[in-house]
Amino acid sequence: MSLIDRRRVVVTGAGGFIGHHLVKRLKADGHWVRGVDLHVPEFERSPADEFLLLDLRREDDCQTAVHHVEDVYQLAADMGGIGYITSVHASLTRNNVLINAHMLEASANARVDRYLYTSSACVYAAEAQNSAEIAPLKESAALPANPEKGYGWEKLFSEQLTTYYHEERDLDARIVRFHNIYGPLAAYEGGREKAPAAICRKVAEAEDGNGIEVWGDGHQTRSFCYIDDCVEGITRIMESGFTSPLNLGTDEMVSVDELVDLATRIGRKQLHKIHQLSKPQGVRGRNSDNTLLQRTLGWAPEISLASGLARTYSWVWAELKKAGRARPPIPSESFVTPLEAPAAAPGSVG
């Protein structure tokens, strides 16, 4: 990369899972990176050129965050797994509206070159997700609006606000809708963890032959996108010049029970499921339609759930082992499903 191509960028939410991985990718690509968050990354040191502890609910902190940068990757958000986002609608919505409104105003005033806002599949209308056999969700399905309570409404509102800044304040904006991003370095306990990491933790801690708790009846469906594909997609979307919302996820839909079965095969354990019907389980079905993404980028996420979950399980198991909580057997360095095996080289994880 030449000095002309090297850009000054800020990643907000850089202390979080996706933000931390994005900082690593942008540094590897040769850019100067400022990380911003309320806290530093939990599991490893940030490689950012500078890391500022700022509260982006404050307008002056947003001005500091975007000072003398060309690109803004706005990942900062109050968020977590289904248990968390369904329990704090008021504070979560307020926090995120403040963050996004102040970041947009500060970025427009600073006349940054490009701005990327990270939204969520939670913006999609509930009536389009009331079956486990849901059709993949096209970007246009977000309107007319009836998103998930709290988090979904806030994300959809902030998408609209980003669009208004693009139309009226000449902010060159991108909007990406994440579909269940997972992988190493994600929270796996504490209340903000999402399904893949939570299930990996439960399997890793379980004695072979015991049971593990599964929220809901296990028939609810989702697609899951591995972090490496997510970061690749973010960088491609920023470079694309495309200013309307784009899904970023896989179209490999599985039920929660199937996700648990995959994790137990990876962990080489025999475990029975204990379904908790009183626990939050979100919409009945959700899957990503990648037609527009592929048409726009000539690319779509490539890493299979089996491969990505194997990497995630190995990392979670190793973290739990440090605390004496992981139960045998030690994870294999590779895992392939029968469908993957013929095309995979020996020892490959996809």
How would DSSP label each residue in 73-139? EE------SHHHHTT-HHHHHHHHHHHHHHHHHHHHHHT-SEEEEEEEGGGS-GGGG-STTPPPBPG
Among 146-150, 154-158, 248-252, 299-303, name the one with the lowest average pLDDT.
146-150
Average pLDDT estimate for 132-157 = 90
**Where do we find the tokens 């975007």?**
66
Mean pLDDT of the chain: 92
pLDDT of residue 3: 57
How would DSSP label each residue in 230-294? HHHHHHHHHHH---SEEEES---EEEHHHHHHHHHHHTT---EEEEETTS---SSB--B--HHHH
Local structure of residue 144 (DSSP, 8 states):
S
| 3-state SS class at 162 | helix
Give 334's pLDDT tier (boundaries 50, 70, 90): low
Residue 134 has which token pair? 């849901």
pLDDT digits (tens, 9 = 90+) for 22-58: 999 999 999 999 999 999 999 999 999 999 999 999 9
Q: Which pairing describes strands 71-74 and 50-53: parallel, antiparallel, or unpaired?
A: unpaired
Residue among 84, 151, 165, 313 flagged as catalytic: 151
pLDDT of residue 4: 56
Q: Cα 146 vs. chain centroid, distance in angstroms?
A: 22
CATH 3.90.25.10 fits 183-223+252-285+304-338, yes or no: yes
Domain ranges of the chain: 8-181+225-248, 183-223+252-285+304-338
Cβ 237 vs Cβ 278: under 8 Å: no
pLDDT digits (tens, 9 = 90+) for 253-292: 999 999 999 999 999 999 999 999 999 888 899 999 999 9
pLDDT of residue 158 exceeding 50: yes
Q: Sheet holding 8-12: strands in order across?
A: 50-53, 32-37, 8-12, 71-74, 114-120, 173-178, 245-248
Give 336's pLDDT tier (boundaries 50, 70, 90): low
pLDDT of residue 2: 53
pLDDT digits (tens, 9 = 90+) for 66-124: 999 999 999 999 998 888 998 999 999 999 999 999 999 999 999 999 999 999 999 99
pLDDT digits (tens, 9 = 90+) for 9-24: 999 999 999 999 999 9
Q: H or E segment at 220? A: none
| 3-state SS class at 3 | coil
pLDDT of residue 349 exceeding 50: no
pLDDT of residue 337 exceeding 70: no
| 3-state SS class at 207 | coil
| Identity at 194, one-letter amino acid code | K
pLDDT digits (tens, 9 = 90+) for 191-214: 899 999 999 999 999 999 999 999
**Where do we find the tokens 């486990």?**
132
Residue 123 has which token pair? 């913006």
pLDDT of residue 348: 31
pLDDT of residue 94: 97
Residue 165 falls in the annotated catalytic set: no
Fold of the CATH domain 8-181+225-248:
Rossmann fold (3.40.50)
pLDDT of residue 316 exceeding 90: yes
